[in-house]
Amino acid sequence: MSTPSATAPATQHAPAAPGGSPRRLGSLGPLGMVLTGCVSVQFGGALAVTLMPRAGALGVVTLRLLAAAVVLLVVCRPRLRGHSRTDWGTVIVFAIAMGGMNGLFYEAVARIPLGPAVTLEVLGPLALSVLASRRAINALWAGLALAGVFLLGGGGFSDLDPTGVAFALGAGAMWAAYIVFSARTGRRFPQADGLALAMAVAALLFLPIGVVSAGSRLLDPTTLALGSSVALLSSVLPYTLELLALRRLPASTFAILMSLEPAIAATAGFLILGQALSATEAAAIALVIAASIGAVRTQVGRGKAPVPVPAPEA
């Protein structure tokens, strides 16, 4: 995708977060927002794995999307009128990408460990970073990350469920789409209104799937409480931070930062799930992280300031 033109006017809507605390979240800076979101989503993902025996992967996704939608709709109270067809089309595609990313990822972590699953998933954002930047040096960093993935494969793909690997790669493709349409949604809607609407649409689209998969297990009080916690950690907080960050950070840099997710996921998997890494898996993840650091240093070395975001179109 292409980032907004550097000559475009600044947005008319000051970035704000649900709950009316834009200054508090904004003080983190765009990089701090992204990293905080990464930590939150991975520890939320580890908690979700513990919930899967109660509701299954698709049931957990349904609970996560529903709880997050309720929180965001109540807090943001987005307007339903006054939006163009293009606005609604952007929200719907964003919702499909969000639901698909979540569904495929949870199907993956139901079959393979959290760290390797995220290492495979992050290929989507890395591919996006190369396409968005169109610089040879970023292709080099992406190649280093691919080397890490191949090392992971040589050290254990034969031990990983191939269906889980396929789900993780599919989640990566949807993650790239999520990045693109999160940025577009953030430009078209004030504050986090677009995120709230997209979350509600995603929840409605996923609800029949979750009901068929989990049935009455979704109504268990303990399951509902855990699902709500997963929603806050894995959806409400990180998606809001990412949407705000994408207003001030080039999409290619944001996509590159996602390469840090495997290390955070491996840490969360170890601390919460007891999923230890082999030496080969740790080396593979280290290569992906090195690629991320190198790519970010390349962006900073160019002295590239955050791209101004154009005002939302009518």
Q: Which residue has the higher pLDDT, 277 or 189?
A: 189
In this prediction, residue 13 carries a pLDDT of 36
Which distant-in-sequence residues (6+ apart) come within 8 Å of 262 by Cβ? Answer: 115, 118, 119, 122, 285, 288, 289
Highest mean predicted confidence (pLDDT) among 122-131, 151-160, 264-273: 264-273
Token duo for residue 139: 């292709």
Which distant-in-sequence residues (6+ apart) come within 8 Å of 42 by Cβ? Answer: 114, 118, 261, 264, 265, 267, 268
Say if residue 75's pLDDT is above 90.
Answer: no
Region 27-45: mean pLDDT is 80
The torsion angles phi and psi of 8, rounded to 5 degrees, stand at -70, 150
Region 53-72: mean pLDDT is 88
Q: Which of these, 182, 238, 261, 214, lies nearest to 68 by C-alpha position?
A: 238
In this prediction, residue 243 carries a pLDDT of 72
Token duo for residue 155: 């050290």
pTM of the model: 0.71
Rounded Cα gap, residues 108 and 84, in angstroms: 36
Token duo for residue 171: 């989640």
Predicted confidence (pLDDT) per residue in 241-255, tens digit: 877 787 777 766 666
Q: What is the DSSP string of 18-61?
A: TTS-HHHHHTTHHHHHHHHHHHHHHHHHHHHHHHHHHHHHHHHH
Residue type, 108: A
In this prediction, residue 309 carries a pLDDT of 31
Say if residue 100's pLDDT is above 80.
Answer: yes
Rounded Cα gap, residues 248 and 172, in angstroms: 23
Highest mean predicted confidence (pLDDT) among 22-36, 84-98, 147-161, 288-302: 84-98
CB of 252 within 8 A of CB of 3?
A: yes
Altogether, the residues listed in the chain come to a count of 314
Token duo for residue 61: 């996704």
Q: Which residue has the higher pLDDT, 20 or 150?
A: 150
In this prediction, residue 203 carries a pLDDT of 93
CB of 250 within 8 A of CB of 53?
A: no
Q: Which residue has the higher pLDDT, 133 or 8?
A: 133
Count CB neighbours of 109 within 10 A: 29
Which DSSP category does 265 fall into? H
CA angle 109, 94, 56 (to 5 degrees): 25
Predicted confidence (pLDDT) per residue in 282-310, tens digit: 787 788 778 767 766 665 555 544 333 33
Average pLDDT score over the chain: 76
Percentage of residues in the chain having pLDDT higher than 90: 16
Say if residue 33's pLDDT is above 60.
Answer: yes
CB of 59 within 8 A of CB of 210?
A: yes
- pLDDT-based confidence at 312, cuts 50/70/90? very low
Region 74-103: mean pLDDT is 91
Predicted confidence (pLDDT) per residue in 196-231, tens digit: 999 999 999 999 998 998 888 888 888 888 888 888
Q: Which of these, 123, 165, 101, lies nearest to 258 by C-alpha position?
A: 123
Predicted confidence (pLDDT) per residue in 167-197, tens digit: 999 999 998 898 889 888 888 888 788 889 9
- pLDDT-based confidence at 48, cuts 50/70/90? confident
Distances in Å between the Cα of 189 and the Cα atoms of 249, 289, 302 are 17, 33, 30
Say if residue 32's pLDDT is above 90.
Answer: no
